[in-house]
Structure formats: C-alpha cells, structure tokens
Amino acid sequence: MSEIVLRKIWHRGDYRIARFFDKRDNETRLKMKQIGARFSITHLCWHLPYNKKNYNIFKTNFSNIKVEKTNSASHQKQSKNKNNDKASVERQRKKLPIVKNHERLSSSAFTVDELTHKFHSFEIDHRLNLRVLDSVGKYWVLKMNYVQSYVKAIKKVKGVHWNGTHKVYMVYRHPQVKANVENIFGVPLFGEDYFKKQTFAKDLSVEVHKYIDDERYIRVNFSDDFRLVDVLRRVSQSRYSKALNAYLIPATPNHKKSLELLLSDLEVKIHYHVAKTYFKSSNKINKKSVELTKTKQTLLDMVPDFAKPYVEDMTNMLMAVNYSTSTIKSYTGAFISFLRVNDYADPATLNRKVVVKYLSSLSERGLKSASGHMIVNALKFYFKNVLEWDDTKSWNIPRPKKEKTLPVVLSVDECQRIFKAVKQPKHKLILLLAYGAGLRVSEICNLRWRDIDFDAHKIMVKSAKGKKDRQVMLPYSIVEYFKTYEELYKTKNYVFEGQIKGRPYSTESCRAIMKRAVKKAGIRKKVNMHTLRHSFATHLLEGGTDIRYIQKFLDHSSIKTTTVYTHISQKSTKKIESPLDKMAKKYKNKPKN
C-alpha cells in the first residue's frame, strides 16, 4: 500500500481527519470504506470526524501513516470559517461596506481557490464551491452549492432570481445589486460591466455563408444588435448555433425572400458569400427533420469529444429504425447518464456487473423503477443493434421490479374549480381540451385547425405517441370557446401558437398554466396536465362508457393499460359501506339505558 498522509481540515462545518493517498491504490480505498470513511469531492480525500477514537482506528488499520501538521495561519483561517455563515448574514443585514477600490474581474468562470488567491484578505466558505460563470444578457451568473444561510440571504436581494433549468442564480448587472450580493459573501465577485441599454447601431449587416456540415442550410453571421437577433429567430425553421455564434436557416428561395423581407424594415445590408444556385427548393426541411437534427446536436454537446462516437452511433441507429424524437431523447439521455458514471468508458468493455452496480445506485438514491427500465432499454438497444451482440450476451441484464402505483384523479368538482381559476381564454381552452377530449399535452400543442371537424364534432390526432393517428370527441360545450378564441388570436396553422408566429405552443408553458391553476384553486393533490387525461378516463368509466371505447379514445395498445382506471373508479365501490360505519350507526341508534 502507498503512504497515507493524515491532515486536519475544515469540512462541512466541522474539523475532519483527512487521508490522502494514491487514488490507484484500490486496497487502501477498500479499507477506507470498511472503517466508515467518506470521500470528499471538494478536498479529494477520505475523511472521518476529528477525534482521538478515529485517529486510533487509523493507527490500528494502517502502518504507513504520515501526520502532516497544519501551520498556524491555516489553522486560524479554518477556525474563522466556523462563524462564516452567521457573519455573512449579519453583513447582509447591516449592509456594511467591505470592499474598497477592488480591481475589475474578467467575465470568465473562476473557482473559490482562485478567488482566495486573488483576494487573500477575505474569507469564503469552502462549502459553497462558489463560481461566477460567463454573463448572459443583462445578468451575471452565479453558481454555488446549497448552504441554507447564504441561500436565504441571496433570495432577499432584489434583482436576483433562481434559474431552475441551469441551477444558477441570475444577478442583474446593476451597482446596487452587485454591492448587496458581494456583501453576503464578503468578497468582490463581479466586474463593473453593468447592464446598459444597447444603443442602435447605425449600420446593420449580416453575412451569409455556406454551412459545411449540412448544405441544406445557410450560416448567417450578424453584428451584435438585439434587433437582428429578434428578426433572425423569427425566420421559419431557423436555429441558433452557440458554437458558430450564427443562425442556421434552410437554403431555399422562399427562406431567402423571407429573410430579405424581414431585414428590409431595419435597412440591413446582406452580404452573400454563396452563389444564387445554392438556394434550391429541394433544400426544404420538414418539421421532423428540424427536430431530429436539433435533438442529435443537443445530445452530442452533452458529452466530451472522445465519447461522441458512442453517442452518435446510438442516435444514428435510433433514427434509422424511425424512433420518435422523445424516445431518442429518453434512450440516449439514459445512455449518456450511464456513460458519465463510468467516466465515458467504451461501452463494449463494460460487463454485466457494472450495469448491475449502476442500477443498484439508482435504487439507493430512491429513484423509481422507471429510471432503471429506461437505462435497461437503452443499453439493450445499444448492445443488440449497435454492437450487434447476440441475445444471450445482451439480454441478461436484470430489470427492476415495477411499482404498482395508481394515477391521481381529480373529482368533477375539483376539475370545475381549476377551470374557474383560469380567466385567460387561451389558457382555459388548453385545460378544457386536456380534460374534455383526453388529449396529451404534446397533442394539444401540435393540434392544427385542419384536424378539427366542427360539423362532426371530431378531432383527428395526427402522429401521436407511437406514430399513430386516432379520432377523439370534440365536446359540444367547447365549440363556443373555439369561436371566441379564433376571433381573438387569429392563428392560421397551429391552434395554439407560442411567442414566435407559426410555431406551436410549448409543453412547458402548458404545464405552467396547470400548475398556477391548481394553486389558485386550492387543490393540495399532486397533479399535473396528465392528471386531466386520467380524470377524463375515470369519469367516462363511472358514467357507464364501455372500457373498449375508452381504450380507443386514450390510444392504448393494450386493454390492460386502460383497466387501471377500474381500480380508482368509485362506481362499484361507493355503495359499499365500511363495517366501522355500520357499527357506528348501530350504537348511535341504540337506546341508552
């Protein structure tokens, strides 16, 4: 075994005995686990609470120990960190100025160690792992670990909001906001690049180039002006490439005319670096192609360069067998999570034991069996279709046992309260469709006017889950809502359009509508948009509708999926009386002696 260095450190609000040794020494690492030591990613060491008992455990189990004494300055610094939480909150309360004439920092990301080196006279709580990332628009971006006292303080600062998608704090680039945030942490964090309203550039221009990776597109580089961004993002089927800092637009004559027309109002100079023949009608790209291209690129950007061949092979095969975009995202996302845990090792070199260990870790983290099923499906698909392993080698992965859970269902009265809580016509119609026709949220967003037959009171759902079409009912009571909505919004293709004209409403926005309505209606059940679909099926069943018709309305391949609603329907059980209720009635009516 290699030499083991013992050192006293301050970690997670207490002193610890830290042990440093060669990470390749598997024998020592195994012993550390056996004596109950924990690994710290922050300090890259194994540690136990600092006391005599744990020191004796080390002496008993390891003979090659070297004790490294901490210098007095370091010891004092660690002692000060004990009261760091309370001190930072007190500074925030009193708004004490702590920094004078500090130098400007660059906008690139920096770590706590770099901050401590640069501002050696200030203290930073090492639990935070504080980082300032590149600025985004009018915000500085702050990333840190959760420490309750700091989080409470920063939430009270006006001009700071939490971005749940990227798990960061967005700090408005303003002098007062900057001072308030820096008072909390006790160090200067941001530069003086405060947000100022952009002045209009006199000469706007765009450069049109070939897009080498896919000649169906043109690459449009633009001068830094928010007006150009606003126009380019509204061009049909355009998508922004962060790597190229340019917009990619289909190279068709119609898109060329559209681009020129939209830019003409701003008197933008367009410099073409492609021939006129580059724009062809055959370059027309349908919605499916756009979604698949964007999905593939997003998935490839999630992994380092050396691991991209594994992910690309996976996505190519999924596309070759014509799987839907959502399935590609789910399978490849689960596959990437598995690779990440195993340091992006070649999947062909991993064995069944590694897979079992990963599935075990999912259960240990308290995740549901659905997470395990997804990774099993993804790995089996990869092993069988990409690596072309035979069934005996690729189908021996254990599958987690499914939980037998019942869907949450709203009563008719609760549904009515939700609808009443929504006043905006567009939002109300979305919720009414989800309940009245039993539509999925994606089906509502992709609904087109041509799919609705108002005379026959039918809705044709095109290419739904599993690439299947089906017909569902159009409730008579909802027709008037459609007429009012059409007069107000005048959409042409999609019934519900998002911020960009001609593009469908986002599923995230629909879920946000439901969340706000549930909160306003005062319903405590844990429900979402899909709950309205469950309620639709349950209420049909309780109303006497044959379960086979409900199966068709819901687009279930198997009747077994639909029969789950028989377990939550109250039609057959509401007349059954509990023996406790019978007993209560008996003794209630019994005359007293």
Tell me the C-alpha distance between 438 and 431, whole Å. Answer: 10
H-type alpha helices, 265-305: 287-300
Contact 120, 188 (CB under 8 A): no
Per the annotation, the verdict on 457 as an active-site residue is no
Catalytic annotation, pick one of 19, 219, 426, 440:
440
| CA-wise closest residue to 520 among 409, 414, 592, 425 | 414
Considering 38, 77, 465, 520, which one is annotated as catalytic? 465
530 is catalytic: yes
Q: Among 426, 428, 533, 534, which one carries the catalytic annotation?
A: 533
Structure tokens at 133: 């990332």
102 is catalytic: no
Q: Is 533 a catalytic residue?
A: yes
Rounded Cα–Cα distance for residues 468 and 472 (Å): 13
Annotated catalytic, 534?
A: no
What is the distance of C-alpha 43 from the center of its chain?
28
Q: Nearest-CA neighbor of 191 among 171, 165, 211?
A: 171
The DSSP code sequence of 385-438 is IIS---HHHHS----PPPP--------HHHHHHHHHH--SHHHHHHHHHHHHS-
Buried b (16+ CB within 10 A) or exposed e, 299-318: bbeebeeebeebbeebbebb
Q: 568, 409 in Cβ contact below 8 A?
A: yes
CA-wise closest residue to 260 among 220, 300, 303, 210: 220
Q: Is 504 helix (H, G, I), strand (E, B) or coil?
A: strand
* Contact present, 159 and 147 (Cβ < 8 Å): no
Active site residues: 440, 465, 530, 533, 556, 565
